[in-house]
Amino acid sequence: MNGVKNEQGYALVTVLLVVTVFMVLFLSFMGQAFSSVKQNQVLEKSSRSVAAAEMGLSYYQVAIQKNFESKQNAVSIFIQSNSTLIANFKRHAAIKMAEELQNYFPIGTTQIPIPIEGHPNASFLLKNFVAIADPNPTSHKVNLSFNIVGTENMKESTLFAKMSIDLDSIINLATVEGSTNYVLPSFNAIVKPTVLCLTLDCDTVYINGNGGFSGNNNIKDNQTIYTTGTLNFDGSGNENNKTNVKIHADGAITIHKNMNSAANVLIETKDSATFMQNVKISGTSKLLVNKTLTVNQHLELATNSFAYVGGYGAPVNNGIGTPTFEATINNHLNILSSSKMCVYGDLKADQITVETSSTPPSKLIVFGKIFEGNLEKNNPNFNNIDTFKTECGSNLPPEFEIKWGDNVNTIINDVDYN
C-alpha cells in the first residue's frame, strides 16, 4: 500500500510540474504578444508621423520651386539695374535668389502646420529654413536646408532636408540674340524744364500752356524753348544763322519767317509744324514732327541732318499702322550731304532732289505715296514697314535679360530621418 501511495505522490508532483511549466510558457508567450502589439502600435504611430513628414517634404519642394519661379523677374531686374553685375550675372543671380527665397521663409520662423486631408490628427510644418548662395565664388548654386516636422496622434517625426538650385544653365539673351528692335522718334528728346520763364530773354524758356512771340523773334544761340501747348512765332524777323537751339511744343509749331542756315538745331512737336517761308538746316540738325509738316517755300536738309514726319499709326489688319499724315513742300525739297528724310504718310513737293552721291548717300524714305509736282513717282518703299523702321528708327540694343529655362529646378540632395 505504501508503494502505491508513493507512486500516486510522484504522479501528483509530476502533474504539478508540467502544469507549472505550461503556465510559465503561456504567461511568457502572452507577455511577448502584448509587447509585440505595443511595439507595433508605437512603430505604426512613428511610421505615420514619418509619412506625414515625407508628405511635407514633397509639399515644400513644390512650394519652393514655385517661389523660385516667381522671384526670377525680380532677380533679372536687380541685375539690370546695376550694369557692373552683368559680367558675372550667374553668381549674382544665385546670391540675389538666395536672398529672395530667405525673405519668403525668414530665419527663426516656423510655418503654420498644414493639415493632411483625410487624417484629422495629422499635419506637417517647416522650420529652420536657410537659403544661401554656395560659398564657392565660382559656383552658381543656391543651397537650401530646412526641417520638416510630421505629426500624427501627438507623435512627431522630423526630417532634415538639403536642396539646391543650380543656375549654371541660365543665359543672357542679349548675348545670344541679335537686336531687330527699332524705335521710331518719340518727340520727347528735349527734357522739360522745371522753372517757368515766359520770355525770350531766358536761356531756357518754359511755358506751361501756349506760347506766342511777336516782334523780331530773336531766338538766341544755345537757347531752349519748351511749351506744353502750341508755339507761334509770328514776328517780322527771320530766325537765320541759329546754332544749338532746341525747340519743343506739345501742340503745333508755326514759324512765319525764314529759318535759314540753322546748325545743330532740334525742333520737335507732338502735333504739326508749319513754316511760312524757307527752312534750311544743317550740322546734324533734326526736325521731328508727329503729324503734318507744311513748308510754304524751300526745305533743305544738309550735313547729316534728319527730318521725320508722321507718328507711327495704330495697327490695322495687316499688322501695320495706317499713315494719315503727310509732308507738303510747296517749293523745292533738297536732301543733301548724307542727310535723310522719313515720312510716315504721303509726301508732296514741287521738286525733289536727293544727293545720292554723298558718302553715305542721302535718303528719302516714304511709307506712303510720293508726288513731285502733280505726278506720282515710283516709291520702292511704299508700305514697306520693315524698311521704314530700319531706316528711320534707332536700333534699340537688347537689354540684359535672363533666360531661365525649364531645366532649372529645385533638387533634393539629402534627407536625414530623426
240 in the same domain as 134: no
317 has a pLDDT exceeding 80: no
Q: Are 49 and 156 in contact (CB under 8 A)?
A: yes
Tens-place pLDDT, residues 165-182: 999 999 887 766 555 667
What's the pLDDT score for residue 86? 85
Chain mean pLDDT for the chain: 85
Q: Which set of grid coordinates corresponds to residue 162?
A: 538639403
* Position 400 in a domain: no
Tens-place pLDDT, residues 382-400: 989 889 988 998 766 667 7
* Position 23 in a domain: no
Tens-place pLDDT, residues 225-237: 999 999 999 887 7
211 in the same domain as 150: no
In this structure, of 12-21, 67-76, 286-295, the range with the lowest mean pLDDT score is 12-21
Question: At residue 79, what is the residue type?
Answer: I
Average pLDDT (131-146) is: 94
* Position 351 in a domain: yes
Q: Report strand pairing: 306-309 vs 286-289.
A: parallel
161 in the same domain as 113: yes
- Return the half-sphere exposure (C-beta side, CA atoms, 13 A cut-off) of residue 148: 26
> Of residues 406 and 144, which shows the higher confidence score?
144
232 in the same domain as 112: no
335 in the same domain as 211: yes
101 in the same domain as 69: yes
In whole angstroms, give the CA distance from residue 308 to residue 342.
5
What's the pLDDT score for residue 402? 85
DSSP code per residue over 203-216 = SEEEESS-EEE-TT
What's the pLDDT score for residue 42? 41
Q: Which set of grid coordinates corresponds to residue 126?
A: 517647416
In this prediction, residue 319 has a pLDDT band, given cuts at 50, 70 and 90, of: very low
Q: What's the total number of domains in the chain? A: 2
Q: Which residue, 343, 244, 311, 249, is CA-closest to 284?
A: 244
Average pLDDT (302-321) is: 68
In this prediction, residue 24 has a pLDDT band, given cuts at 50, 70 and 90, of: low
* Position 229 in a domain: yes
411 in the same domain as 284: no
pTM passes above 0.85: no
92 in the same domain as 142: yes
280 in the same domain as 313: yes
376 in the same domain as 246: yes
The CA distances from residue 118 to 42, 52, 70, 150, 289, in Å, are: 21, 12, 30, 15, 70
DSSP class of 192: P
What's the pLDDT score for residue 186? 82
In this prediction, residue 44 has a pLDDT band, given cuts at 50, 70 and 90, of: very low
56 has a pLDDT exceeding 50: yes
Question: Which residue matches cell numbers 544761340?
Answer: 221
Tens-place pLDDT, residues 178-234: 556 677 888 888 999 999 999 999 999 999 999 999 877 779 999 999 999 999 998
34 has a pLDDT exceeding 70: no
- Structural domain span for residue 367: 204-395
What's the pLDDT score for residue 64? 92
What's the pLDDT score for residue 38? 43
293 has a pLDDT exceeding 90: yes
> Of residues 108 and 362, which shows the higher confidence score?
362
388 in the same domain as 244: yes
* Position 208 in a domain: yes
In this prediction, residue 28 has a pLDDT band, given cuts at 50, 70 and 90, of: low
214 in the same domain as 326: yes
Q: Which set of grid coordinates corresponds to residue 182?
A: 527699332
* Position 313 in a domain: yes
